[in-house]
A and B are shown apart, each in its own frame.
Chain A
Amino acid sequence: MVKKLTLLLSALIFSMAVLAADNHYVLGVDGLACPFCAYGIEKRLNKIEGVTDVQVDVGESVVRVALQEGKTLTDERARQAVDEAGFTLRSYSQAEGETGDGNEQ
């Protein structure tokens, strides 16, 4: 009985940890090599409630966005931020895992 309870408790803790993990998104945006452009995207995305990290990957032409637990970035909100920065959102996807070491400052 104790063993079953322990297993159940472990499973519950694991589930909560997964649910509490940050939400990560990958936005495809072309023409991000120039800092005047890339910083504009970062500036707008960082104003969205819950955003904890924004990284621009020039080589892959994507922006990786992390949001704190319980917060989400909708396709529509991402598109709006990218539009405001003067770009067009090429793709939008929710990603698994970490965004890396975080170079947003």
Chain B
Amino acid sequence: MKKIGQWLGYSVLGIAAILALLAWVGGAINRNQEPPYSLAQSWGEKGSGPGQLNDPTGIAVTDTEVFVSDARNGRIQVFDHEGSFKREFGTTGDGIGELGRSMNLTIHDEKLYVPEYMNDRIQVFSLAGQPLEIIGSPGEGPGQFNAPGGVAVADNGDLFVTDFYNQRVQHLRADGSFVKQWGTTGETAKGAGEFTYPTDVALADDGTLYVADGYGNRVQVFDAGGDFLRKWGGPFALGLYGPFKGWFTAATSIAMGPEGNVFVADFYNDRIQKFTAQGDYLTAFGSAPDNPGHTGMAVAIESDGTVWAVNFADNQVEKWEPVR
């Protein structure tokens, strides 16, 4: 009888340990290491007039202005930090200065880099809206794109581009010439350095490359030499999606904070998640949608740490600030 009691005790302890392990892996007992951010300001509504949006898909910010990909309107809109409309540029098309569904935006060295999903190219503009350069063309060859979703620019002008349907990240020189790629062209995979519809990239100050592996539901990190460092998102970053802390359900945008933290737009979970550079979960925040669809589409970080995001379902720009 005593042995049965011991056996039962060990069994209960074992089951509890397994449940705790599953809960930990599942994120259920992953606590916020930081308080969430609070929504300080938002603006926008569906439409095509100044200040109205129709599918906001990307955002970039300077110390004075906010640039928004207004994808279905075929334009970039520029606002001040209070939400007042300042200017717009672009129109739907595939010519110079025209746009075919602009996606995640990047500003580097006073220039705006615009990946165009439909036109399979990166178009570079001055911040005033003057078209300067077109990089890439449709295809699956080196330096070509099939629905580019995001771009990061190194200090020397080199580009890192997520090539969504080609299932790769390309490293290009400033003139668009090919350097190397991560991932196997046109093939999804879940191993380290392989991708499943990658959407966006961000560069840390030391050249570390962070990739939002969109439907891989994870982040992958590479050192400045291009070697794989780590990945995170769900159990063992194997591609499982879910709503738990540190998990993703379509990672659609990624940005670096001034302290080296990593912010990831987690589209179907309607939130932005914040991590350390090592991938430790810190906090999450976002808006529930008022309209059909989801909100957590794209994110950009101001130099003071203020988080700017676009709410896709509700056609809004959002400003989030840390709760002090």
Residues on A lying within 8 angstroms of B by beta carbon are: 33-36, 39-40, 43, 58-59, 86, 103, 105
Contacts and interface: CB of A to CB of B under 8 A. Distances in A.
B294 A43 contact: no
A36 B197 contact: yes
A36 B292 contact: no
Given A33-B292, A35-B101, A36-B147, 5 more contacts: A35-B55, A35-B312, A39-B147, A40-B164, A105-B74
Contacts of A103: 54, 72
Interface in B93-130: 101, 103, 117-118
Main secondary structure of the interface of A (DSSP, over half): loop
Given A58-B292, A86-B197, A33 B92 contact: no
30 contacts: A33-B267, A33-B268, A33-B292, A33-B313, A34-B250, A34-B267, A34-B268, A34-B294, A35-B55, A35-B101, A35-B312, A36-B117, A36-B149, A36-B250, A36-B252, A39-B71, A39-B117, A39-B147, A40-B147, A40-B164, A40-B165, A43-B117, A43-B147, A58-B292, A59-B292, A86-B165, A86-B215, A105-B72, A105-B73, A105-B74
Nearest to A84: B165
Contacts of B147: 36, 39-40, 43
B164 A36 contact: yes
Interface residues of B, number: 30
A63 B72 CA distance: 16
A17 to B, nearest CB: 31
